[in-house]
Amino acid sequence: MRLHQIGDLIQLEVQTLQIHLVKNLITTEELLIPKQEERDQVEELINIVHGKEVGEMELTYPLFIMATDDKSIKKFDSWDKLKNWYEQIDIEEGLFLGWDLNGYPFKLVWDKSQSSAMIETTGELSEIDQLRNAIRDYVRDYRPKAPFDYSGSNVVELFKTVEDHINQGKLSYKIKMKLKSLWKK
């Protein structure tokens, strides 16, 4: 089915639903209250229009993904940047945990029918503290001897500070190795 045909079908469904809603409104003096079933149908149509499945949680970018084997974390500002980053076998083995900006957890799953990665939410409660702790553990694992302190609550700023701290350590190591090689000459 072509995209414009789908749009026409959705528009027809919305118009039909609007007529159905108007016929089934409960009038209480000046208050019009649609039945729960109609509200659910409207929400379902809105979700279909926006490409979401019914009951699917909408995640807020950026997304943070942690590799469970080495505890490294990457930040992705869009699905386009994320979708081809990981390999199928790693996704199928469940090597990644993820959180959105607000700490809502998800996992990457492989959709064999589409041959691509997909996001599957794993909970409806925010785990923002778990995300913050994972980011702090990331820096401790990569620079265990270097002190690190961040007292803010913004996870984007925390992650940027951690990345800068890790990169500073990598640069220090490169300089140290270069000096050692020069010193030996």
User: Is the pLDDT assigned to residue 54 strictly greater than 60?
Assistant: no
Q: How confident is the model at residue 1 (pLDDT cuts 50, 70, 90)?
A: very low
Of 139, 131, 62, which is closest to residue 97 (Cα–Cα)? 131
Which tens digits make up the pLDDT trace of 136-152? 999 999 888 888 888 88
Enumerate the domain spans of the chain.
3-49, 63-121, 128-184
Q: Please list, in sequence order, all residues whose beta carbon lies within 8 angstroms of the beta carbon of residue 59, skipping any fewer than 6 positions away.
A: 100, 104, 106, 119, 121
Q: How far is the C-alpha of 23 from the C-alpha of 38, rounded, in Å? A: 11
Q: How confident is the model at residue 169 (pLDDT cuts 50, 70, 90)?
A: confident
Q: Please list, in sequence order, all residues whose beta carbon lies within 8 angstroms of the beta carbon of residue 130, skipping any fewer than 6 positions away.
A: 99, 103, 105
Query: What is the CA angle 125-136-97, rounded to 5?
Result: 45
Percent of the chain with pLDDT over 70: 69
Which tens digits make up the pLDDT trace of 18-45? 554 455 554 443 345 556 676 666 665 5
Q: Give the pTM.
A: 0.64
